[in-house]
């Protein structure tokens, strides 16, 4: 059975209370439930992880190679600042999808550049919590494509 890692960066634990004009009212626990339901439909397993600490996110990415078939990551603010996170993502040869709840290209200038996107197969943004569901479908397709190579 395939297993995917869903990583969430800093301040996403505050979803539902934080800047609801950008992120809506959905909590991270609700997003986790949506992800688990979607994975169950596809008969895959997911591990859902959140940290406000860059090093913990990097360590989690380092743990992927023998345990997971792919990564979905919402790097949050580290999207725009973390070369260390970019390097960790580049070090993994697993399929990777970057997601954002809000449309980063319709936000402040400093949020319009994603450093981490250079190391992923694709980016999904602006679809709210549904972006996670879209990312699960996309990562499954990438995993299948990689298996057929």
Closest CA to 30 of 16, 50, 19: 16
Tell me, yes or no, if 42 is annotated catalytic.
no
Task: Please pick, among 23, 62, 78, 110, the residue that the annotation labels catalytic.
Answer: 23
Q: Map out the domains of the chain as residue ranges.
A: 3-148
Q: Is 23 a catalytic residue?
A: yes
Measured between alpha carbons, how far is 146 from 50 in angstroms, rounded to an integer? 27
What are the tens digits of pLDDT across the range 41-98?
999 999 999 999 999 999 999 999 889 999 999 999 999 999 999 999 999 999 999 9
Q: Could you give the CA distance from residue 86 to residue 131 in angstroms, rounded to a whole number?
A: 21
**CATH code for 3-148?**
3.40.50.9100
Locus of tokens 């743990």: 63
Q: Residues of the chain with pLDDT > 70: what percent?
A: 97
Q: Please, which pLDDT band fits residue 149 given cuts at 50, 70 and 90?
A: low
Hey, how many other C-beta atoms are within 10 angstroms of the C-beta on 104? 21
Q: Return the closest-CA partner of residue 119 out of 69, 61, 77.
A: 61
- Residue 55, Cβ neighbours under 10 Å: how many? 11
The structure tokens listed for 131 are: 């972006």
The single residue of 2, 53, 62, 100 carrying the catalytic annotation is 100
């Amino acid at each position: 059975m395939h297993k995917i890692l869903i990583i969430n960066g800093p301040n996403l634990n505050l979803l539902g209370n934080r800047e609801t004009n950008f992120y809506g009212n959905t909590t991270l626990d609700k997003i986790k439930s949506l992800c688990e339901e979607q994975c169950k439909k596809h008969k895959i397993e997911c591990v859902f992880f959140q940290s406000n600490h860059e090093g913990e996110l990097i360590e989690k990415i380092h743990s992927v190679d023998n345990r997971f078939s792919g990564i979905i990551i919402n790097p949050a603010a580290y999207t725009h600042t973390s070369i260390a996170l970019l390097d960790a993502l580049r070090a993994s040869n697993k399929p990777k999808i970057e997601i954002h709840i809000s449309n980063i290209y319709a936000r402040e200038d400093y949020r319009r550049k994603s450093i981490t996107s250079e190391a992923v197969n694709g980016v999904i943004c602006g679809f709210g919590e549904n972006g996670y569901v879209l990312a699960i479908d996309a990562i499954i397709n990438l995993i299948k494509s990689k298996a057929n190579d």
